[in-house]
Amino acid sequence: MGVVGVGRMGLTHAENLARRVRGARLVAVTTANEGRAERVRECCGEVAVYPGLDKLLSSETLDAVCISSSTAAHADNVVQCAAAGVHIFCEKPLALTLPDCDRAIGAAAQAGVKLMVGHVRRFDAGHVEARRYIEAGAIGKPVVFRAISGDVDPPPPSFADPAVSGGLIVDAMYHDLYLARWLLADEVERAYAEGGALVDPAIGAVGDVDNAVVSLRFSRGAMGTLFVSRTCRYGHDLRVEVIGDEGAVQVGYFRQTPVRLLDRSGVHHDMARTTPERLGDAFVTELQAFVDCIRHDTQPPVTGADSRATLAIGLAATRAMREGRPVDL
């Protein structure tokens, strides 16, 4: 396998492929940044480093790639890798528009290669167990989905630019939108949102918001309320709750390590600061599922169609926020 792009997420995937995923061997990465290349060698050992995807595909014989490039480049990279006949794991979202999702999905189908999209929380043990409880009827009929997603600090304005990242809702709330569909086994039919650049003026200057609240209506009548923030200074906050007519199930925790200090000033504990810290095992499980579906010729557990449906909700919510009105999907 090769990894396309080794920023924060790409480096996590590269290290997992090099050291933790059974049946896979990392042979090369792409980056034009020498500092990132050196970091890859420190974390992954001696692997080939190429400046871009063209050189990677022309120089290596690959079975599969992990695409962790900038979001705006995902669709083009998927199309190029499909044409080269390699299986594709692509970080979320698959694209920034529905036509580009269709283009990427069509290219993979035409080439006969597998396409899986990185929905990491689908592989987190807590969310997997929550889905099991819901499917077993432990909380009765789901009526409300609630979620919180908070990053500690905003990204650079160059990334926050909606033309690059898709904007706060598409970029940072994406996983919660996927979980809403997956946990409730239902489709969203209407979205509404409020948001603002309330903390970081630089985010507002590029046309994005740093905090937003989204309301959803599902096809079977359930409701959703989701909060997303780029400015949760206290830590990387990920929480999900599904309330049913017979009970509720909650996923999420604050402590990174299972220890608390109690003193005169109160109770203290640490907290995860980044996504890889909070979801480390899930990233390994996710890539293992991708490698296994290639080796055993099975369907990827998260398809391009799953990503397209999730993106459609994010785009509708973003439009609702911009236009100040509910938007039907």
pLDDT tens across 270-279, in order?
666 667 676 7
Number of alpha carbons in the 13 Å side-chain half-sphere of residue 211: 10
Asked whether residue 246 falls in the same domain as residue 126, the answer is yes
Asked whether residue 97 falls in the same domain as residue 133, the answer is no
Q: Which of 54-63, 154-163, 261-270 has the lowest average pLDDT?
A: 261-270
pLDDT tens across 114-163, in order?
999 999 989 998 899 999 999 999 999 999 999 999 998 899 999 999 99
Asked whether residue 138 falls in the same domain as residue 233, the answer is yes
Asked whether residue 96 falls in the same domain as residue 151, the answer is no
Q: Residue 270 has what pLDDT?
A: 63
Query: What is the span of the domain harbouring residue 84?
Result: 2-119
CATH code, 14? 3.40.50.720
Asked whether residue 197 falls in the same domain as residue 303, the answer is yes
Asked whether residue 105 falls in the same domain as residue 153, the answer is no
DSSP symbols for 92-122:
SPS-SSHHHHHHHHHHHHHHT--EEEE-GGG
Strand duo 87-91 + 115-118: pairing = parallel
Q: Residue 264 has what pLDDT?
A: 78
Mean pLDDT value of segment 5-23: 95
pLDDT tens across 222-245, in order?
999 999 999 988 888 889 999 999
Q: Using 50, 70 and 90 to split pLDDT, how confident is the model at 261?
A: low
Q: In what order do the strands lie in the sheet with 327-328?
A: 248-251, 237-244, 142-150, 223-229, 211-218, 188-196, 327-328
66/286 Cα distance (integer angstroms)? 12
CB atoms within 10 A of CB 111: 18
Q: Residue 253 has what pLDDT?
A: 65
132/23 Cα distance (integer angstroms)? 28
pTM listed for this prediction: 0.91
Q: Using 50, 70 and 90 to split pLDDT, how confident is the model at 258?
A: low
